Amino acid sequence: MRCAALIAAWSGGRVLRGVAGAGAIPERRWVSIRPSRASALLGYEVTPADAAAVFATLRMAARADAEDRLEVEIPGYRVDIEREVDLIEEVARIQGYDRIESTLPTVHQAGGMPPAYAFVRRLRDVLVRAGLHEARLLSFASQEDLDLMGDTDAIGLTNPLQADEAALRTSLAPGLLHAAAQDLSLDLARSVVVGDRWDDVGAARAIGGRAVLVRTGYGRAAESAPRPNLAADTVKDNLAAAVAWILQQP
């Protein structure tokens, strides 16, 4: 009445007699649930009485349609309940998810670890016991990292996670150097880079450190094809000799 009076007074409307209606009240939906099906999905017994108690808590009308079936009236605001499994989810939610036990699925095949994976695991254990550190680095690199390794053909990223790491890495070396500097509090300028390529020597020069070129791997080929304006501090036959030289340095 107050609303009609305000419309007539302020907007020039005219109040008519009678009632005008449009549309109809939506029909209530009924969805069925089988307690046996709820028991199978949740992994514990759900009786018809248990299910009825849950829907009574939710103020949803429920009626027994058969020995193993309840019909539940769905309120208009519960648009998320459409199928039996939705009602089963309500049972689990009200009774508590902690009642659902954790179980491992059954595997119908022979167990065991493939030899290649077993070898990698043993190798990792040996290296860790020897005092080495495993590093898992992101696959991105900055322009400084690319310049450090002399890379000019890196793949750029259209939408990088960080603006200063806008390319895919082409080498593990820059990430390992950053990780070592941060995790081990190393002064890279006092570091020694040991490698079998001229790019390794260039990386050492870029960080202000010293370089050892070893003749193993690609080292002999690199030594026979020197790069202008790039030289290692020393050249050794193998890693053992390189380590011995490093330990002699001040």
**pLDDT at site 55:** 95
pTM: 0.42
Query: Is the pLDDT confidence value at 1 over 80?
Result: no
The token pair that represents 127 in the structure block? 């290296």
The segment(s) of the chain belonging to CATH 3.30.56.10 are 27-99
Mean pLDDT, the chain, integer: 87
Would you tell me which CATH number, out of the four given (3.40.50.2300, 3.40.50.1860, 2.60.40.10, 3.30.56.10), belongs to the domain 27-99? 3.30.56.10
What number does CATH give the domain 187-250? Answer: 3.40.50.1000
pLDDT band at 213 (very low <50, low <70, confident <90, very high): very high
For the segment 131-177, what is each residue's pLDDT rounded down to a tens digit? 888 888 888 888 888 877 777 888 988 888 888 888 998 888 788 88
**pLDDT at site 35:** 95
Residue 32 backbone dihedrals phi, psi, to 5 degrees: -95, 150
**pLDDT at site 134:** 83
pLDDT band at 53 (very low <50, low <70, confident <90, very high): very high
To which residue do tokens 């900055």 refer?
142
pLDDT band at 38 (very low <50, low <70, confident <90, very high): very high
In this predicted model, which residue has the larger pLDDT, 190 or 60? Answer: 60
The segment(s) of the chain belonging to CATH 3.40.50.1000 are 187-250
Cα–Cα distance measured from residue 182 to residue 81, given in angstroms and rounded to the nearest whole number: 53
Q: Is the dihedral of CA 174, 215, 190, 246 positive or negative?
A: positive
For the segment 168-202, what is each residue's pLDDT rounded down to a tens digit? 988 887 888 888 888 888 888 888 889 888 888 88
Cα–Cα distance measured from residue 34 to residue 67, given in angstroms and rounded to the nearest whole number: 9
Question: What secondary structure, in 3-state letters, does the chain show?
Answer: CHHHHHHHHHHCCCCCCCCCCCCCCCCCEEEEECHHHHHHHHCCCCCHHHHHHHHHHCCCCEEEEECCEEEEEECCCCCCCCCHHHHHHHHHHHHCHHHCCCCCCCCCCCCCCCHHHHHHHHHHHHHHHCCCCCCCCCCEECHHHHHHHCCCCCCECCCCCCCCCCEECCCCHHHHHHHHHHHCCCCHHHCEEEECCHHHHHHHHHCCCEEEEECCCCHHHHHHCCECCECCCEEECCHHHHHHHHHHCC
**pLDDT at site 125:** 92
Do the bridges between strand 69-74 and strand 29-33 make them parallel or antiparallel, or are there none, so unpaired? antiparallel
Query: Is the pLDDT confidence value at 37 over 90?
Result: yes
**pLDDT at site 143:** 85
Query: Is the pLDDT confidence value at 93 over 90?
Result: yes
pLDDT band at 216 (very low <50, low <70, confident <90, very high): confident
Query: Is the pLDDT confidence value at 111 over 80?
Result: no
To which residue do tokens 């259209």 refer?
158
